[in-house]
Chains A and B, each alone.
Chain A
């Protein structure tokens, strides 16, 4: 279980408890957080779950796979060094307290 905070582009902040193994994309789409779409269902094929991770998460997350890096080239909003795809980040206790910020647009 991990508490993850999602900060939407309008500043609205929501913290949810995410079961181990669930992706941060699934946490958002099942909790009514609008700033993540996840159109492809989590197979790293649409780049509509783009997020910016905080320094804490950047430090504990494994680096993105080649597939995630390829798909990050397709994000619509600005790509930054801390850009990740939320469908590729799986919740675990190690991520507890992490904060992700969502871009203005996903498609």
Chain B
């Protein structure tokens, strides 16, 4: 093949831990690369990813968007459908996630953050995941209108654990293992109970509206309601949780940035944007070609799967000078931390709001901290990247 010994295996623990050296070789030497291990093409340059993300007629999501797709999911969710179906699903949900419609959530989110981070008073060392996961699940439940408190159907930690497990994959088999499928089934079962509950007694919340929605007189089909709700819970809990971990990882690692945002919390939004660029949790999604495409001298065939490596595009020196520096003054407009184009993340506004509030309140209790370990255990996932544990020491 003439490619020497270069491989790119998104299932390998080494890529979970640090994909960035491999990304650089992909961008510089193999910008349109066939990964034998993943059985798909890898696009790694910023401009190529933007172009593909825009061109949904060629780069289709209808065969699934997760690198390792869950059974029966493709075609029924926002992320795994193309316009016009995508647009009608999105139209039902989108208004709830617009910035101006989230204002009512700001105070409840702040109350959750204060309560959760108050547990750290007087503590010398802790796993950030223990607090961030409590925060994430409560915020998501409030945002979607999942039953909480006395109405709760299951303990909050079970929602979080299953959301995290269902996005993982097995490094050896390069597929979902039985535990990942079980988590996915658990989440579908939970979503179906919530949907039934809200249909019986509708509330003024997102899931009630969605479960009862009609478009042009047609109800959504049950599979769309169930799998879209399942995905909203998964994406909300896992992506927000993963991103909280990455933000804490960056601030615990880069002393100057941490001190700057603690001294001046109005810099947090810039630090959040730079974290989304520098090491977003959503590293890779996939598309499927609807026609042959020739790029950088390679011809990708209709029907082939293509990985859009957002995490690599965000480190592309062709777009961002000195890309491997975490620089909170950068203001990295156009980053791919939330993807881009028609499938750009639905939750951008609530994610930005929740993470900002969380770190404002976290820093009130713990203004200075550092990582305990150099090497971290990373989540085994071909799509997302975040540490499973982030032990921090208060300074």
A contact set with B: CB distance below 8 Å: 19, 21-23, 26, 29-30, 32, 38-46, 65, 67, 70, 74, 90, 107
B87 in the interface, Cβ–Cβ < 8 Å?
yes
Instruction: Judge whether A43 and B91 touch: CB under 8 Å.
Output: no
User: Which residues of the other chain, A, contact B345 by a CB distance below 8 angstroms?
Assistant: 41, 43
Given known contacts A22-B50, A22-B51, A30-B319, is B341 in contact with A39 (CB within 8 Å)? no
In contact, A46 and B99 (Cβ under 8 angstroms): yes
B97 proximal to A (CB < 8 A): yes
- Residue of B54, B87, B94 near A26 (CB, 8 A) is B54
> Given A46-B98, A46-B99, do A41 and B344 touch, yes or no (CB 8 Å)?
yes
**Contact assessment for B55 and A45 in the assembled complex, using a CB-CB cutoff below 8 Å:** no
The answer to the question of B147 belonging to the interface, with a C-beta cut-off of 8 Å to chain A, is: no
Question: Is A39 a contact partner of B349 (Cβ separation < 8 A)?
Answer: yes
Within the complex, which residue of B51, B97, B343 is in contact with A19, where a contact is CB–CB below 8 Å?
Answer: B51
* A73, B289: Cα distance in complex, Å: 35
Asked if B377 is at the interface of the complex by the 8 Å CB criterion, the answer is no
Q: List 20 A-B contacts (CB under 8 A).
A: A21-B54, A26-B334, A29-B333, A30-B333, A32-B333, A38-B334, A39-B99, A40-B344, A40-B348, A40-B349, A41-B340, A41-B341, A42-B340, A43-B344, A43-B346, A44-B342, A45-B344, A46-B98, A70-B91, A74-B100
Which residue among A26, A32, A65, A90 has the maximum number of chain B CB atoms within 10 Å of its CB? A26
Whether B19 sits at the interface, judged by CB under 8 Å, is no
Residue from A19, A42, A67, A107 within 8 A of B344 (CB atoms): A42
Q: Mark B99-130, 1 if CB is under 8 A from A, else 0.
A: 11000000000000000000000000000000
C-alpha spacing A36/B54, complex, angstroms: 18
Residue in chain A with minimal CB distance to B47? A19
Contact with B348, one of A21, A41, A107 (Cβ below 8 angstroms): A41
> Number of contacts between A and B (CB, 8 Å)?
70
Q: Chain B contacts of A23 at CB under 8 A?
A: 54, 341
Sorted nearest first, the 9 A-B pairs with minimum C-beta distance are: A41-B344, A29-B334, A43-B344, A29-B333, A30-B334, A21-B54, A41-B338, A41-B340, A42-B341
Which residues in B have their C-beta under 8 angstroms from that of A26?
Answer: 50, 54, 334, 340
Interface status of B90 (Cβ within 8 A of chain A): yes
Q: What's the minimum C-beta distance from A49 to chain B, rounded to whole angstroms?
A: 11
CA distance A29 to B53 in the complex (A): 16
Docked-complex contact A46 and B349, CB < 8 angstroms: yes
- Residues of B46-90 at the interface with A, using a CB-CB cut-off of 8 Å, are 47, 50-51, 53-55, 87, 90
Total residues of chain B contacting the partner, CB 8 A? 28
Task: Give the chain B neighbours of A43 by CB distance below 8 A.
Answer: 90, 94, 341-346
Least distance between B275 CB and chain A CB atoms (Å)? 16
* Residues of chain A with a CB closer than 8 A to B344's CB: 40-43, 45
B98 & A74 in contact (Cβ 8 Å cutoff) = yes
B241 CB–A CB distance under 8 Å: no
CA distance A26 to B94 in the complex (A): 21
Task: State whether B54 touches A45 (Cβ < 8 A).
Answer: no
**B339 CB–A CB distance under 8 Å:** yes
Give complex CA distance A54, B43 in Å. 35
CA distance A44 to B98 in the complex (A): 10
Q: Out of B51, B98, B339, name the residue touching A45 (CB < 8 Å).
A: B98
For residue B336, which residue of chain A has the nearest CB?
Answer: A41
How far, in whole Å, are A67 and B334 apart by their CA atoms in the complex?
Answer: 22
Q: How far is the CA of A44 from the CA of B340 in the complex (A)?
A: 11
* Closest residue of B by beta carbon distance from A66: B91
CA distance A67 to B97 in the complex (A): 15
Measured between C-beta atoms, what is the minimum distance from A88 to chain B in Å?
10
Looking at A30, A45, A46, A65, the one whose CB has the most chain B CB atoms below 10 A away is: A45
**B51 close to A67 (CB less than 8 A):** no
* Complex contact B339–A41 (CB within 8 A): yes
Which A residues lie within 8 Å of B333 (CB)? 29-30, 32, 38
A21 touches B342 (CB 8 A): no
Q: Which residues of B contact A38 (CB under 8 A)?
A: 333-334
Q: In the complex, what's the smallest C-beta–C-beta distance from A10 to chain B, in angstroms?
A: 18
Give every chain A residue within 8 A of B91 (Cβ-Cβ). Answer: 67, 70
Q: How far is the CB of B129 from chain A (nearest CB, A)?
A: 27
Q: Which residue of chain B lies nearest to A19 when distances are taken between CB atoms in the complex?
A: B51
